[in-house]
Amino acid sequence: MTNRRMYFKMIASSILRRKSRMTVALLAVAIGATVLLGLSAISYDIPRQMGREFRNYGANMIFVPADDNAKLEILAAKRAAEAIPADSLIGMTPYRYETARINMRGYDIVGVDFGQARKTSPFWRIEGKYPEAENEVLLGADIADFTQLAPGAEVNMTGLAADGSRYRSDMKISGIVRTGGVEDGFIFLRLDDLERLAGNPGTADIVELSAAAGADQLNALVSRIAGDVQGITPKLVRRVTHSETTALSKLRALILLVSAVVLALTMICVATTMMTVVMERRREIGLKKALGADNGGIAMEFIGEGILLGAGGGALGSVLGYFMSEAVSVNVFGRSVTMPWYFPVLAILASVAVTAIACLPPVRRATQVEPALVLRGE
């Protein structure tokens, strides 16, 4: 057996044959590595996943009438939208707002092209179905809760048409929309239904557009359309991109903080465990010194044990961390997590580094042990 083998034999046996104490430290390191790898994998993957979610989040530009009291010509809006390259225009939805009485109560009703709305507002959660046939409506969730109306129910709708006459129609509730936003307070129907009942076809109050473009491109588009097209004011919907970046940076800061706290706790746990181990093994240290070990040799042994502990705990934690991030990803985003191959390696290296650093104070203590104590029989 060479000296190197003897060295590994000693540090390995010291861990393996003294399980209970080392198990605590090993678990601490493993938990630290789990959280570290899990969180960094999630924070690495989240921008991609969230980016996709947010891109689905819908409209990032709206057209409103230049004159507050006027209506928008849908045809004009379509022409204005030609400024956007066809392959990056995901959807374009005109909205027309009116008021109507339904079962004798007044509500805001919205005429909409549902085919386009699905593209510009993919976050709508529908209970039942989107309106397909004539005279079907989609009820905002707040109204549904209040009126206790459910999909399939028939209602009576009356309102004032553009020419001053009253219209009246029986409508069927095809579904209920729930967004947590203003949509919950509206009743939606097909734009062509609304036009047939209320007249004044081809107009809207607002047009929502969803374009696959970066912030710079969107800005350029907005100023181009504003310059070129009369009667329409294009605006960027900042809410989405803005909240995307703030949400992400807040999430990342949180993850960084949690990781730092967990690593600090791991370090403290390893340091106290190793300190206890050193105190328990003072006789052994004294003996080794009496047999001729110098301070460097003693230090190398404890650091070696620490590194072994760090590597073992780190490897265990990497496996657990992978499953943790996978579970989170599948539950939150419905997709498998992807992480670069070197993440687990880094997690193990970080565990080794943290453990080695945590071992320094105990190692210092170990080198201070006097060999004379072995004869004193303390």
Partner 1 sequence: MDILKLANVSKIYGSVKALYEATMSVAEGEWLAIMGPSGSGKTTMMNIIGCMDRPTSGNVLLDGMDISNLSASELTHIRRDKIGLIFQQFHLISYLTALENVMVAQYYHSMTDEHEAMQALARVGLEDRAKHLPRQLSGGEQQRVCIARALINYPKLILADEPTGNLDEANEGIVIDVFKRLHGEGSSIIVVTHDPEVAEVADRTIFLEHGRISKIVLNR
Residues that bind partner 1 (CB under 8 A): 1-3, 5-7, 9-10, 13-14, 16-18, 283-284, 287-295, 297, 370-372, 374-377
Distance from C-alpha of 192 to C-alpha of 199, rounded to nearest angstrom: 9
Among 186, 56, 173, 175, CA closest to 125: 175
Closest to partner 1 by CB, 7 vs 333, is 7
Distance from C-alpha of 224 to C-alpha of 213, rounded to nearest angstrom: 15
- Minimum distance from residue 28 beta carbon to partner 1 (Å): 21
Closest to partner 1 by CB, 13 vs 103, is 13
Is 363:303 a contact under the CB 8 Å cutoff? Answer: yes
Q: Is 176 exposed, middle or buried (0-12, 13-18, 19+ CB in 10 A)?
A: buried
Closest to partner 1 by CB, 233 vs 367, is 367
Closest to partner 1 by CB, 110 vs 293, is 293
- Minimum distance from residue 17 beta carbon to partner 1 (Å): 4
Q: CA angle at residue 81 from 124 to 70, to 5 degrees? A: 80
Closest to partner 1 by CB, 3 vs 331, is 3
- Minimum distance from residue 313 beta carbon to partner 1 (Å): 20
Closest to partner 1 by CB, 22 vs 207, is 22
> Long-range CB contacts (< 8 A, 24+ apart) of 326-332?
328/38, 328/42, 329/42, 329/45, 329/49, 332/49
- Minimum distance from residue 306 beta carbon to partner 1 (Å): 17
Is 28:185 a contact under the CB 8 Å cutoff? Answer: no
- Minimum distance from residue 271 beta carbon to partner 1 (Å): 22
Among 39, 6, 1, CA closest to 256: 39
- Minimum distance from residue 360 beta carbon to partner 1 (Å): 20
